[in-house]
Chain A
Amino acid sequence: MVASDIDRGHGALNDKKKRYSAFALARNAASYHQDWQRAWRKASPKASYDAVIIGGGGHGLATAYYLASVHGMKNIAVIEKGWIGGGNTGRNTTIIRSNYLWDESASIYEHALKLWEGLAQDLNFNIMFSQRGVLTIAHSEHELKEMSRRVHAIRLNGIDSDVMSPAEIKKFVPCINIDQSIRYPVMGGFVQQRGGTARHDAVAWGYARAADDMGVDIIQNCEVTGLRRKGRKIIGIDTNMGFIKTNKVGCVVAGHSSVMADMAGIHLPLASRPLQALVSEPIKPILDTVIMSNAVHMYISQSDKGEMVLGAGVDKYNSYAQRGSFPVPEHMIAAAVELFPFMSRLRMLRHWGGIVDTCPDASPILSKTDIDGLYFNCGWGTGGFKATPGSGHVFADLIANDRPNKIAAPYALSRFETGFLIDEHGAAGVAH
């Protein structure tokens, strides 16, 4: 199971002037907040690095942070074609939980949750991690039975998880409709109290700032256009800012993983699909937890600003267009209104899509490849935000040591040859 002696990294932001604190706030108030230092330097690429991480999403930035803070690799860079956090990291509905069925999943998602608990302190950045609980609802007898089986499996892995009756759910979430006459009535559910949400942008910014402080170059507006190799060895990358020499490349580009793999002549089991979300106008606090439903396929929470944040399932065909198809939000709104009738009068403010890298077993890929020095971290699909710290932590370990640790080992690409899939469609079938 999960190691309790996680090396969380150390060494960043010791400088009192740089640290964010109540004192820093007071000091900067005196100068009308004109003197805050940049959170990270504007770096341009050096000629060569010990390692390069492609993709400045949460997973890529976390990888760089742990490479520097745990493994002492500081001559490294994160290369991002747009702005950091502009991919799925800044587009997701921020649900965090570790209540998966299989041991392999429990191990990696719980590793992440342990890192979430305390991450704000590690990074000296308020990531607004809120363990408000995640409640998954069952709408049929069968679903409820399957759910209790899952609850037992989860508890056997030492992860908190409890079944709830409709009456308990009503007490927990007063605004929910538990009327048994609706099309998909609430039959029960299960909750992980340690689950919750975090501010997605802050996660990217916090990792970027802490990594930068240790010397990691964060290079934005730099697109990788080619992976150069000599025989079976990686020797560098081509970018729109020129060639960068390196012997280790970690690809963490989510929806664009197949495009990157193509550059190296590698094939992945991924399909890139749009996943959509939307937020309503802000209202007074009404929902202080996260609700998910697999059957009606919808998940909802309320942001600290007061917006209702809603998400649903992936679109049914491949796309790189970062916008989705209309039937999906229509369906999710119908489901939300049935469970929360008050929502019928809410206006929706913003709606967007992200391109997610779905994997056949709904589990990620953390793997070496048959090219020396080329590593992939992808396949997180609809549900990788929750894993951000854990994913970065074990991927950094994989890159630094050139072999997977116990948590990462089951996630190698070779599972699509051996057949040892980690089928999490039950837990991850709902996009979250």
Chain B
Amino acid sequence: MLQLPCPYCGPRDELEFSCGGEAHISRPLANNKISDAAFGEYLFLRDNPKGVFLERWRHASGCRRWFNVVRDTVSHDILEVYAMGSKPRRTAGKKAYNNSWRRTTAAEAAAVNK
């Protein structure tokens, strides 16, 4: 069983949490002009790495707050925990963030640049 360090409550068993999947997917703005393909990418396509993964978790039966986790999907090691709205600070997380194909998508550009 995983033990996750909730930044607000401390370490708790995985049973208390729900997992929100890939972190840092920005919604393209409503008035953007992106194509159906680009919108489909935002909506459905997912980063699914074998290795370091940035994901969102929610302490569902605790403080009910969301936070981000850098986790290795092979060893299940938790490498970093950081607040929603911020970016990973340690090397592994930073690298995963910068190297994700998500950063190069039209949807992401439409969300970030405006």
A positions within 8 Å CB-CB of B: 256, 258-259, 262, 265, 267-272, 316-321, 325-327, 360, 416-419
Contacts of B75 in A (CB 8 A): 321
CB distance from A268 to the nearest CB of B (A): 7
Q: List 22 A-B contacts (CB under 8 A).
A: A256-B50, A258-B46, A259-B49, A262-B49, A265-B101, A267-B41, A268-B46, A269-B44, A269-B46, A270-B48, A271-B46, A272-B48, A272-B50, A272-B73, A321-B74, A321-B75, A321-B76, A326-B1, A327-B1, A360-B44, A416-B45, A419-B36
CB distance from B95 to the nearest CB of A (A): 15
The answer on a CB contact under 8 Å between A259 and B40 is no
Q: Mark B72-95, 1 if CB is under 8 A from A, else 0.
A: 011110000000000000000000
The answer on a CB contact under 8 Å between A267 and B21 is no
Specify which of A267, A321, A327 lies most central, judged by the most chain B CB atoms within 10 Å of its CB.
A267
* Smallest Cβ-Cβ distance to B76: which chain A residue: A321
* Smallest Cβ-Cβ distance to B13: which chain A residue: A327
Given A271-B21, A417-B36, A418-B36, A318 and B44 touching (CB < 8 A)? no
Rounded to whole angstroms, the CA-CA distance of A265 and B1 in the bound complex is 33
Specify which of B43, B48, B76 lies most central, judged by the most chain A CB atoms within 10 Å of its CB.
B48
Q: Is the interface of A mostly helix, strand, loop or mixed?
A: loop
Contacts of B14 in A (CB 8 A): 325, 327
The A-contacting residues of B in range 18-54, CB under 8 angstroms, are: 18-19, 21, 36-37, 40-41, 43-50, 53
The answer on a CB contact under 8 Å between B44 and A416 is yes
The answer on a CB contact under 8 Å between B74 and A320 is yes
The answer on a CB contact under 8 Å between B48 and A417 is no
Besides A327-B15, A416-B44, A419-B40, 12 other A-B contacts (C-beta < 8 A) = A259-B49, A267-B41, A268-B48, A269-B45, A269-B46, A316-B18, A317-B71, A319-B74, A319-B76, A320-B73, A325-B2, A416-B43
Rounded to whole angstroms, the CA-CA distance of A417 and B42 in the bound complex is 10
Chain B interface size, under 10 / 10 to 19 / 20 to 34 / 35 or more? 20 to 34
Rounded to whole angstroms, the CA-CA distance of A313 and B59 in the bound complex is 21
Cβ contact of A319, chosen from B21, B47, B73, cutoff 8 A = B73
Contacts of A258 in B (CB 8 A): 46, 48-50
CB distance from A417 to the nearest CB of B (A): 4
The answer on a CB contact under 8 Å between B50 and A320 is yes
* Smallest Cβ-Cβ distance to A325: which chain B residue: B1
